[in-house]
Amino acid sequence: MLVGSQVRRVAVIGGGRIPFARAHGAYARVGNQEMLTAVFKSVVDRFGLKDEILGDVVAGAVIKHSSQWNLARESALGSGLAPETPGLDLQRACGTSLEAAILIANKIALGQIDSGMAGGVDTVSDAPIVYSRDYQQLLLASFRGRSLGQRVRPWLGLRPRHFKPMLPGVVEPRTGKSMGESCEQMAVDWSIPRAAQDQLAYESHRSAAAAYDEGFYEDLVVKFEGLDADNNMRRDTTVEKLAKLRPVFSKNGTLTAGNSTPMTDGASAVLLASEDWARQRSLPVQAYLTFGKVAAVDFMGAEGLLMAPAYAVPRMLADAGIALQDFDFYEIHEAFAAQVLCTLKAWESPEFCRDRLGLDAPLGSIDRAKLNVKGGSLAVGHPFAATGTRIVATLSKLLQQKGSGRGLISVCTAGGMGVTAILER
């Protein structure tokens, strides 16, 4: 049975995360499973779910070892949930955990399950190191040997080059370009100035620091490996300091280490449920996940790699029957300051909205005071698969505090895709 008698509202009960840490630092000696298990356990403890059977747990990682093929299930088994709780791994690059939340929400809405947890994790510090295919084939040939001679003979072809590792890199297989190089071209195409990028980065750090100071993250961020706050956050940064940084992707470019997200380790998760399930356990509802949309662009052609949210959001707005301005909060993932600014400029462009989106008029501007009000990825960091549910947990708490309202989530991803959602209360 794919659907019940009616589509149900999906409640966001709340979520949490460990502090996000710069790669090769505080979390250098832990891996995906340890981090994701810690986050799942924090959600279990916070909402009294020990020995509870959830309908499903969906999570994933962009960078993981082949031995972590059952990452979500293994992490759920270590979280305190009942062992009868199933788990599912998925991956949609930087949109992984938001996609996980939408999948759980769909199952709840359709009546397949009553509750579920979504999450994501990533570590650059524990990236798998692989070797050339020649070396792999040598090892497999030896393994297949039936006699001692057949097992030894492939090793006669062993050469020093086989010991050169193939280090992981964040590049698009179709273009050979890094995400930063691709975004650099987007900044050129959309005429995004360096000063505007640095200003957005500064505001991200300032907002994140203020959120920590006011205690907003006290129940969202749990201490892990000695960290109790995101260590990428720079309280003392200024626009002037950011302006002194050199471009990192192009000699004459505008993207720097200050207005681009750093390589980050971390994990996050969020609990979703039907209203009845939450009511039976006396768990308050923070918000409702009401809409979700995914899109992709032809980044091998004329479109920028990270422009897919510019397409997904208007399609989702059409589903919801609302305007871009009908939101109290905007959570736009800051992969790069330039990406956010390109997206905003696209929605303001009559030409883009007419020629690319097929609209009669531009979507228009947003109130920038409502954008990433508790800090964004530039400040807190971006463990690829963990960003989506980090944002869901943050936004649902914002809506709970306000008591009503609506929030937009927009996440760009590798592969020229975008994942978006709407939360309401």
Residue type (1 letter), 318: A
Q: Are 11 and 272 in contact (CB under 8 A)?
A: yes
Cα three-residue angle 97-291-208, rounded to 5 degrees: 50
CA separation for the pair 307, 295 (Å, rounded): 9
Give me 399's structure tokens: 């809506």
**Rounded-to-integer distance, Cα 305 and Cα 180, Å:** 10
- Burial of 28 per CB tally in 10 Å (0-12, 13-18, 19+): middle
41 close to 419: Cβ distance less than 8 angstroms: no
Handedness of CA 394, 219, 287, 102 (dihedral sign): positive
Count of CB atoms within 10 A of residue 136's CB? 12
Residue type, 419: V
Is the separation of the CB atoms in 220 and 16 below 8 Å?
Answer: yes
**Of 386, 396, 388, 421, the residue nearest 312 (C-alpha):** 421
Six token digits for residue 405:
């309202």
Catalytically active residues are 94, 382, 412
Beta 56-60 vs 406-413: how paired, if at all? unpaired
Question: In degrees rounded to 5, what are phi and psi of residue 192?
Answer: -90, 115
The residues with which 117 forms a beta bridge, in sequence order, are 57, 271
Q: CA-to-CA distance for 11 and 307, rounded, in angstroms?
A: 29
* Helix (H), strand (E) counts: the chain: 14, 10
Output the six-digit token pair for 346.
């696209």
Q: How many CB atoms lie within 10 A of CB 218?
A: 10
CA 71 – CA 40 distance, rounded (Å): 12
